[in-house]
Structure 1
Amino acid sequence: MDDIDLAEPHLLSWLATVGLDAHYVRAEGDHLYRLDDEGREIPVVDFAGGYGSLMLGHNHPDILACAREMLDHQAPVHAQFSRHPYAKRLAAELNAIVRRETESDEMYSVIFANSGAEAVEVAVKHAELDRVMKVAELRQEIAANIDAARAAVAAGEVSVSGEAAIAAGLDTTDFASLAARISEVNEARATTPPLLFALEGGFHGKLMGSVQLTHNAAYRNPFAALGTSVRFVAPVDISALPKIFDEERVDLLDLAVTGSEITVVCRPLPLFCAFVLEPVQGEGGIRALDARSAEQIQAACARVDCPVVVDEVQSGMGRTGTFLASSAVGLRGDYYALSKSLGGGLAKTAVMLARSSRYRPEFELVHSSTFAKDIFSTTIALKVLELLEADGGVAYARAAERGAYILDMLRSVQRDFPDVVADVRGRGLMLGLEFHDQSASAIPAVRRHAEGGTFGYAVAGTLLERHRVRTFPTASAPNTLRFEPSIHIGDAEVAQLEAGLRDVCAGLRAQDAAALVDHTPDQEGNQAT
């Protein structure tokens, strides 16, 4: 049995074909270490950064010390259904930072989770509870209005406006018939499924619910029947959001007493569950939302009372130079999802913040998570916030400065290889370099990877094997390499990345058969080189 690999062996086999099946034995700062054939440590510069989870690097000494202290004192990790003063402190600290950045006086209630995908699902789940309760409240209000109108008719004070009834598609002036028809119409319309909106290119997880919000069809389509349908909005269509919302609008019918007449009025059904977006799309190719688009989304959603869920799982925690990437473009969320670097590279934790004016306390009785809100992860998260906020938030300034330094380097590579590098983009320490399509390459291995959607992985494998640099492409845009190191990344490590990128670009330009390290078997079963 020891020779049988049951731990996702198919994925491991695939990683081997692109040279990414490394075994790391130690991690520190911005380096991972693997062993050579003689057992010596080989350092690898980590620009993947745990997909954005390592804002402070691997095994930060202050975070390790915090973890050791809790373990040495046998802190009660599992103490559900009890007081959680550490969670209370974390919620307060998060509120202070978010309110400062968003310049808001409103508080945010906090629900704890274990991962980014879970935090996104918690936000949407809460938004749906809020929507369902608003539907119930609206129906109760309509029922009360119908009862009041019925009493006014019985007292001979009013009569039904035939014109209004006909305009509403209800050709009757008999009150009993009118009330029955309204109830019938409302019963059918009130059960209209909720509508969720998300941006094209977005990635919000691969769980049963969150995958429905992820634009990549390869991840989403196999499970489409399991979830609520999502309407994806292209960036170029953001200005048309008011029209899109109007097209989707559903009205309930109500009665109003106006003078001596009863008129039929339309009341918009709370239909729009949420608009979910990333201020900087990670897996979608490192694409940042601009301030104008943020303003248009905010205004359109406010007009129809559609809450905005800001997914800061990868972009938040200071990675882009501000605690929230969304604050830099003026976007204000009704909900925020935070994770990844919140755990300091050590704890698996996440939070969902809900604007107090939307928060439903009932949610706490219908949602829970076994491993959430524990003393270990919340105390680690408090230490992370302490480190980020220290010395007036120098960590945020460091992220902006280091990001600008790396961006300048990437742009210099693009300038020297415009025929190979299509674009360089991003913000702070969330950067991407996009290669031109290589499907017409004269190099068989390059062409095969380009046509199969694995080109970026093959480049990453080459950087790892030849230059000891670790990075990955973005999942939904595999021609784009991502760079998300910690704030402590040094000039020497950036130079190491630059040397690797220039080597790959030179090989691709020269149509050199050895441009990429390739381990994919050819048609005869031999390993390509």
Structure 2
Amino acid sequence: MSTATAEFELAEPMMLQWLTALGVDVEFVRGEGNTLYFVGPDGAEVPVLDYAGGYGSLILGHNHPGIVGAAREFLDAGTPVLAQASRQTAASRVATALNTVLRREFGVDEPYFAVFSNSGAESIEVALKHAEFDRVLKVKALADGITEHLGAARAALADGTAVLPDAVAAALGLAPGSGIDAVAAEVGGRVAALAARPSLFITLAGGFHGKLVGSVQLTHNPAFRTPFATMAPQARFVPLDRLDALDEVIAQERATVPDLVVDDGVVTVVERDFPVFSAFVLEAIQGEGGIRVVDRAAADRIKAACAAVDCPVVVDEIQSGMGRTGAFFAGSLIGLVPDYVTLAKGLGGGIAKAAVTLVRGGRYRPEFELVHSSTFAKDTFSSTLALTTLELLEADGGAAYRRAADLGERLTALFTALRADFPDVVKDVRGKGLMLGLEFHDQSASAAPSIAQAALTDTFGYAVAGYLFRVHRIRTFPTASATTTLRFEPSVLLTDAEIARLDTALRALAAVLRDQDEEAFTAG
């Protein structure tokens, strides 16, 4: 065994075995537009049409010349990539450009402050940490206020300018005649008990927000979440098709604390709302959950419920953002104005690793900058390529967004026609723009052993992806938590010929599934 082979097999060998079983274990050596190339047995390059698109990262395709040119210019100039604790002009320009888009698409005047990171999951972690940091500071302010009011009540009782009626003790469940010391101890104990409660996040069932310690707690798939469930505070999951459950969660978790105030010479108890909820986190379009679109009615319902309890809304645009849906922010299409919004994947133009969490000015805590940092975040190289990517997307009055919408309509029409022609094979078509999902009916009763086995073992989408790659040289994958749904996230450079090629391949696949053709399904 060569050294190179040994090293390769030490890099996630189980994953390599799985790719080999699917017949997709090739090494791509070149990429441009929507095409990847690997070297075949005869030494010639083999082109593969890429509809996976880096899981949504390649809105401008592989190695876009404008972004490659910016990278070369940057490196040729000798600009330092890592010069932490210095002015970062490129990152500031990215934040300004994103604010311009936010104002245009959401009609907001309030600025959004940017906290940069390196990946989508990390951008979610930033949002979770900042939201909890904000909540903790609010809890402290409330507790300090109650302590101050207790002191004022003590002073008023001591100098005889106020009285403590038995109604105060009764309201707190204390014995009649309980004095200010007992009352103060009860109030302080209740505040301390609530302050010790762990953070509480709410999110949508079916969502995917990453696999880091915090973000995985909001990822609904138990296979990803359960092994790490004890490592961080848990989330409450609300079904998208039953948002009444959101009202139930809020009613169950909502809390108040007693506060003592002196009113016209009488000490009275006032119940104060306690900051319980750290944030509601959702994707505008659930990517790994099967390309499920949050509609305007659901967005309005979530916003109203969260506003009533001062719970900030975090919109995960990691996969749906960057113009993929026909607007820069998918949330803008449904009026989902965020308190926090996260971007990654396409932000680096398919070359750099870049992510950002944008925090609405009224929520932003500048002190957060002292308790959170990341060595490689906001580096000059990734910021420069992010700015280039934004300029390309915004060029010609946002022509890229219009093209994404148009191409999305054409692909949706293709999938809809496929469903009409193969109703027993294709179950549903979902998505928006160039973030689309094609769901298949259950094939566990198929007479073809490979098809039935894949369906029974929840690997159907991967088996189908293997067929498309081996037989038609088309690359895509299922969504991670809904494996009967194939995802299609090509770039805005998609051509008529590439669309026609997909149509041919999917019709061949549908025929194989309809005919339960074992030989054809395992070909290649």
Correspondence for 1:509 among 501, 510, 514: 514
2:136 alignment partner in structure 1: 132
Distance of 1:447 and 1:161 partners within structure 2 = 75
Counterpart residue type for residue 129 of structure 1? F
Alignment match of 2:163 (pick from 155, 159, 180): 159
Structure 1 residue 276 corresponds to structure 2 residue 281: yes
Q: Which amino acid aligns with 2:460?
A: F
Contact 1:336 1:354 in 2 (8 A): yes
Following TM superposition, by how much is the alpha carbon of 1:495 offset from its aligned partner in structure 2, in angstroms?
Answer: 1.1
What is aligned with 1:186?
Answer: 191
Q: CA offset at residue 464 of structure 1?
A: 0.6
User: Which of 63, 66, 84 does residue 88 from structure 2 map onto?
Assistant: 84
Residue from 477, 485, 489 that aligns with 2:490:
485
Q: Is the contact between residue 239 and residue 245 of structure 2 (CA under 8 Å) also seen in structure 1? A: no
- DSSP-derived class of the 1:109 partner: strand
Name the SS for the 1:237 alignment partner. coil
Deviates more, 1:229-238 or 1:482-491: 229-238
Partner of 1:101: 105
- Sort the Cα spacing of 1:136 and 1:196 in 2 relative to 1 into closer, same or farther, 3 A: same
Amino acid at match of 2:79: A
Q: In the alignment, residue 509 of structure 2 is paired with which amino acid? A: V
Decide which of 361, 364, 389 is 1:359's aligned counterpart.
Answer: 364
Task: Pick from 144, 149, 152 the counterpart of residue 148 of structure 1.
Answer: 152
Q: Cα distance, 1:259 vs. partner?
A: 2.3
SS for the counterpart of 1:359 is coil
Per mean C-alpha deviation after superposition, the further-off stretch among 196-205 and 168-177 is 168-177
State the distance in 1 between where 2:293 and 2:199 align: 28
CA drift of 1:258 comes to 2.3
Paired residue for 2:347? 342
CA contact (8 A) 2:172 2:186 kept: no
Alpha-carbon shift at residue 325 of structure 1 (Å): 0.3
Q: Deviations over 1:424-462 (max 9, x none)?
A: 110000000000011111111111111111110110011
- In the alignment, does 2:300 pair up with 1:295? yes
Checking the alignment, whether the CA contact within 8 Å between 1:456 and 1:479 is kept in structure 2 is yes
Listed one character per residue, the Cα deviations across residues 247-289 of structure 1 (whole Å, up to 9, x for unaligned) are: 1012222112222321122212211011110000000000000
Q: Quote the residue 2:37 is aligned against.
A: 33
| Deviation, structure 1 residue 367 | 0.7
Q: Is the 1:507–1:514 Cα contact (8 Å) retained in structure 2?
A: no
Distance 1:161 1:426 in 2: 62
AA aligned opposite 1:224: A
Cα drift, residue 348 of structure 1: 0.3
Rounded to whole Å, the distance in 1 between the matches of 2:249 and 2:11 is 45
Q: CA offset at residue 156 of structure 1?
A: 1.5
Mapped contact 2:284–2:315 kept (Cα < 8 A):
yes
Shift, 1:99, TM fit:
1.6
Please give the TM-score of this superposition, normalised by the length of structure 1.
0.96
**Contact 2:340-2:357 within 8 A present in 1 as well:** yes
Aligned residue identity for 1:257: V
Letter of the 2:89 counterpart: P
- The answer (yes or no) to whether the contact 2:238–2:245 under 8 Å persists in 1 is no
Q: CA deviation at 1:172?
A: 4.1
User: What displacement does 1:239 show?
Assistant: 3.5
C-alpha distance in structure 1 between counterparts of 2:410 and 2:222, whole Å: 35
1:310 matches 2:315: yes
What letter is aligned with 1:443? A
Which amino acid is 1:485 matched to? P
Instruction: Describe the SS at the equivalent of 2:415.
Output: helix
- Counterpart position of 1:521: none
User: Structure 1 residues 238-247 or 272-281, which shifts more?
Assistant: 238-247
Instruction: Give the equivalent residue in structure 2 for 1:13.
Output: 17
Q: 1:322 aligns with which of 293, 304, 327?
A: 327
Unaligned runs of 5+ in 2: none
- Higher deviation after alignment, 11-20 or 376-385: 11-20
| TM-score w.r.t. length of structure 2 | 0.97
Q: Note if contact 2:217-2:233 (Cα within 8 Å) is conserved in structure 1.
A: yes
Letter in 2 for 1:319: R
Task: Give the stretch that moved more between structures: 173-182 or 219-228.
Answer: 173-182
State the SS of the aligned residue for 1:441. Answer: coil
Measure, in 1, the Cα distance between the counterparts of 2:69 and 2:154: 71
**Contact 1:19 1:458 (C-alpha < 8 Å) held by counterparts:** no
Question: Any unmatched runs of 5+ in structure 1?
Answer: 519-528
Three-state SS of the structure 1 residue aligned to 2:173 is coil
Q: Deviations over 1:355-377 (max 9, x none)?
A: 11110111111111111111110
User: Equivalent residue for 1:219?
Assistant: 224
Q: Which residue of 2 aligns with 1:442?
A: 447
Per the alignment, residue 523 of structure 1 pairs with none
Alpha-carbon offset, residue 155 of structure 1: 1.8
Identical aligned residues as a percent: 55
Matching residue's letter, 2:228: F
CA distance in 2, matches of 1:316, 1:276: 15
Cα deviation per residue 1:368-415 (whole Å; 9 max; x = unaligned)? 111111111001011111001111111100000001111100111100
Question: Paired residue for 1:50?
Answer: 54
The number of equivalent residue pairs is: 519
Structure 1 residue 243: Cα displacement: 3.5
How do 1:386-425 residues align onto structure 2 when only pairs under 5 Å count? 386-425=391-430
Quote how far apart the aligned CAs of 1:113 are: 0.3
The C-alpha deviation readout for 1:455-489, integer Å capped at 9, x for no partner, is 10110011011111100000000000000000010
Partner of 2:474 in structure 1?
469
